[in-house]
Amino acid sequence: MASSYSEVYDAWKQDPDGFWAEAAREIDWFRPFDRVFDPQLGVYGRWFPGGETNTCFNCLDRHVASGRAGQDALIYDSPVTGTVEHWTYGAMLDEVVALAAVYRDLGIGKGDRIVIYMPMIPQAVFAMLAAARIGAVHSVVFGGFAASELATRITDSAAKLVVTASCGIEAGRTIAYKPLLDAAIGMSRHKPAHCLVFQRQALKADLQTGRDIDFALAVAAARERGAQAPCTPVLATDPLYILYTSGTTGQPKGVVRDNGGHMVALTWSMRHFFGTRPGEVFWAASDIGWVVGHCYIVYGPLLNGSTAILYEGKPVGTPDAGAYWRVIAQHGVTTLFTAPTAFRAIRKEDPQGDLIGGYDLSGFRALFLAGERADPDTVGWAEAKLGVPVIDNWWQTETGWPVAGNPIGLGLLPVKYGSAAVPLPGYDVQVLDDAGHPVGPGTLGNVVIKLPLPPGCLPTFWNADERFREACLSEFPGYYRTADAGYIDEDGYIFIMSRTDDIINVAGHRLSTGSMEEVCASHADVAECAVIGIADPIKGQVPAGFLVINANVSRETSDIEQEVIGLVRERIGPVAAFKTAICVQRLPKTRSGKILRGTMQKIADRESWKMPATIDDPAVLDEIAAVLQARGIGISSR
């Protein structure tokens, strides 16, 4: 391995506190921290206790003060509306100050929660930063989620305010957000006092008197009266945001991110992992509703004094598979970060990469892929067509920044296809068997991280320390359980192969099959069901539901299947991409009644499979295989 990475990783291992104290110098503190890490605080310890700072100050004010006022902080590029806007650090600070003043006038203060349900528009970024400015805690909800998912998040976070827009624009259709929000508030056990609604040209929303406020008018009024909103000092350990992510039940987990550790880790990652310098243009083609969007559309680039791209479009169809190359060339992007699924979609439309030739990509240095395993085929294609390093990196909403990857900022290590490369400083990654014993190189097992987790990782779940302990820390004492299965080879390279729980990855989006099963089971005619993720050439995985219908039901099964598909779309959202529901006579089970989802998945994915020794009735799996084959889904080989 190249010496720079080894030296840096060893330096961290030998003196973690010294390493992170040094990294913390890149951040402006209002009051220095008392200790780098205190193992006695919180669930497994807390980073930088006693330190006072402000994330918005570090993202905007200090850059304006040090001469970056005229540099682009954010470039909004929206092929779906035909808009490009450049927001300098100075202009963005003005906007954020005015919005923070609006929040304050609405009675929002330090520690209060603000839910942000917004499409990919600059106002969404302002909404996050303005919350950070006054010490409020934001919780961004992805626009593709349905009203009931939004309701769960409003209830759990007990948000005082919801910031939204009148609509989102997906390629080819406008999605009215306001009716979804109204429905969500109707369902929510907690009612926010106000909703701030940004009216978009494409579709205006009706505002409810007393509760709803026009975003742009309120901001303009605050600016007109010269409203000030200084940065509220917060503790490094105070929460910056809650980001809900799929857990193994229908109840999403509220991942908490603190202020201090988050800033330190992201700044370190921007420089030393991504190798991005201040002033350079960094593009994470994700959505602000996901962790990648939080960290690398908003906070990482701004903390680093870089320019972030906010792209409201798709890799294909807006207008074509050359969209990414157009953005890179037009805005001088040096680094692109996206999910492999985007590249599979591009490759399908433009297999030879012909559209790449039409753009000047000479300033483009590296492509980072995450969110799902970067399949070697896609990595190879991207490398060949783009001629830049293609870097798989593995992490999760919980960790908040890459656990493993090839650290281009420290000097690129040899690439191994299919591997997320090496652990980054801060992470001691190990593989354990189910009994908690370490396994040897090349042996598949549970991928865990030795505690403490580094700065930037979650300290706990929102209002749920016990759930955090149970879900993440109790199975392997002394370690954080990633719920990923994989192995580490003899060179220390990490290979992440699959999840150990019911989470599936659909176009880089993390979804729980358990929560889809809850929705399927709620249909009056469904007696029992199983949802599995099956392989998809573009999205990686898509869900498929198997439904056993109640004995007394004589309706057409195709009608029930369509109703269940509609229910999942309505309750979870279009992002679930739940388009396959199949009525079957029985589900395959073990003698103890456990549904054999893994074997069903193998059959659907055309992998070889063995009849499980514990199966109750082998004929059921043959029935499932026949039904799948009839639908053209899987031809099993046994």
**Residue 291 contacts which entry, ligand AMP, ligand COA, none (Cβ below 5-8 A, type-dependent):** ligand AMP
- The nearer residue to ligand COA, 112 or 312, going by C-beta atoms, is 312
The CB-of-494 to ligand AMP minimum distance in angstroms stands at 9
- The nearer residue to ligand AMP, 291 or 600, going by C-beta atoms, is 291
Stretch that binds ligand AMP, among 348-356, 366-374, 601-609, 625-633 (CB under 6 A): 366-374
Please, what is the angle between helix 260-268 and helix 16-23, to 10°?
90
Q: Are 403 and 424 in contact (CB under 8 A)?
A: yes
**Residue 345 contacts which entry, ligand COA, ligand AMP, none (Cβ below 5-8 A, type-dependent):** ligand COA
Q: If binding is defined by CB under 6 A, does position 373 make contact with ligand AMP?
A: yes
Tell me which of 148, 152, 505, 515 binds ligand AMP, using CB under 6 A.
505
HEC string for 544-575 = EEEEEECCCCCCCHHHHHHHHHHHHHHHCCHH
Q: Which helix (H) or strand (E) holds 450?
A: strand 445-450
**Residue 484 contacts which entry, ligand AMP, ligand COA, none (Cβ below 5-8 A, type-dependent):** ligand AMP
Work out whether strand 137-140 and strand 161-165 pair parallel, antiparallel, or are unpaired: unpaired
Cα-to-chain-centroid distance, residue 289:
7
Q: If binding is defined by CB under 6 A, does position 393 make contact with ligand AMP?
A: yes
CA separation for the pair 307, 305 (Å, rounded): 7
- The nearer residue to ligand COA, 136 or 577, going by C-beta atoms, is 577
**3-state DSSP assignment of residue 250:** coil
- The nearer residue to ligand AMP, 262 or 373, going by C-beta atoms, is 373
**Residue 156 contacts which entry, ligand AMP, ligand COA, none (Cβ below 5-8 A, type-dependent):** none
Stretch that binds ligand AMP, among 187-195, 269-277, 353-361, 392-400 (CB under 6 A): 392-400
**Residue 168 contacts which entry, ligand AMP, ligand COA, none (Cβ below 5-8 A, type-dependent):** ligand COA
The CB-of-496 to ligand AMP minimum distance in angstroms stands at 4
Stretch that binds ligand AMP, among 176-184, 310-318, 365-373, 528-536 (CB under 6 A): 365-373
CA–CA distances in Å: residue 563 to residues 7, 65, 302, 554: 58, 57, 45, 15
Torsion, CA 11, CA 12, CA 16, CA 22, rounded to 10: 80
Tell me which of 365, 510, 569, 586 binds ligand AMP, using CB under 6 A.
510
**Residue 541 contacts which entry, ligand AMP, ligand COA, none (Cβ below 5-8 A, type-dependent):** none
Phi, psi (deg, nearest 5) at residue 632: 75, 25
Stretch that binds ligand AMP, among 122-130, 167-175, 270-278, 389-397 (CB under 6 A): 389-397
Phi, psi (deg, nearest 5) at residue 583: -80, 130
CA–CA distances in Å: residue 522 to residues 516, 518, 549, 620: 10, 6, 12, 24
Strands (E), 261-405: 281-284, 307-311, 333-338, 366-369, 390-394, 404-405
Instruction: Note the residues at the interface with ligand COA (CB under 6 A).
Output: 119, 143-144, 168, 170, 175, 286-287, 290, 292, 314-316, 338-339, 341-342, 345, 371, 507-509, 538, 574-575, 577
Q: Give 203's DSSP letter.
A: B
**Residue 385 contacts which entry, ligand AMP, ligand COA, none (Cβ below 5-8 A, type-dependent):** none
Q: Are 500 and 446 in contact (CB under 8 A)?
A: yes
Query: CA nearest 116: which of 129, 106, 104, 102?
Result: 129
CA separation for the pair 79, 414 (Å, rounded): 37
Contact letters for ligand AMP, residues 420-439 (x by CB under 6 A): x-------------------
Q: If binding is defined by CB under 6 A, does position 291 make contact with ligand AMP?
A: yes
**Residue 409 contacts which entry, ligand AMP, ligand COA, none (Cβ below 5-8 A, type-dependent):** none
Helix segments in 49-121, DSSP class H: 55-56, 62-63, 89-105
Report the length, in residues, of the chain: 638
HEC string for 151-200 = HHHHHHHCCCEEEEECEEEECCEEEECHHHHHHHHHHCCCCCCEEEEECE
Identify any residues that bridge with 546 across adjacent strands, giving them in sequence order.
Answer: 530, 582
- The nearer residue to ligand COA, 231 or 321, going by C-beta atoms, is 321
The CB-of-376 to ligand AMP minimum distance in angstroms stands at 12
Q: If binding is defined by CB under 6 A, does position 502 make contact with ligand AMP?
A: no
Q: Which helix (H) or strand (E) holds 114?
A: strand 113-117
Tell me which of 370, 519, 520, 633 binds ligand AMP, using CB under 6 A.
370
The CB-of-164 to ligand COA minimum distance in angstroms stands at 12
- The nearer residue to ligand AMP, 194 or 253, going by C-beta atoms, is 253
CA angle 365, 367, 370 (to 5 degrees): 155
- The nearer residue to ligand AMP, 203 or 388, going by C-beta atoms, is 388
CA separation for the pair 512, 501 (Å, rounded): 9
The CB-of-392 to ligand AMP minimum distance in angstroms stands at 5
- The nearer residue to ligand AMP, 403 or 621, going by C-beta atoms, is 403
Q: If binding is defined by CB under 6 A, does position 397 make contact with ligand AMP?
A: yes
Binding site for ligand AMP (CB under 6 A): 245, 291, 370-374, 392-394, 396-397, 420, 482, 484, 496, 499, 505, 510
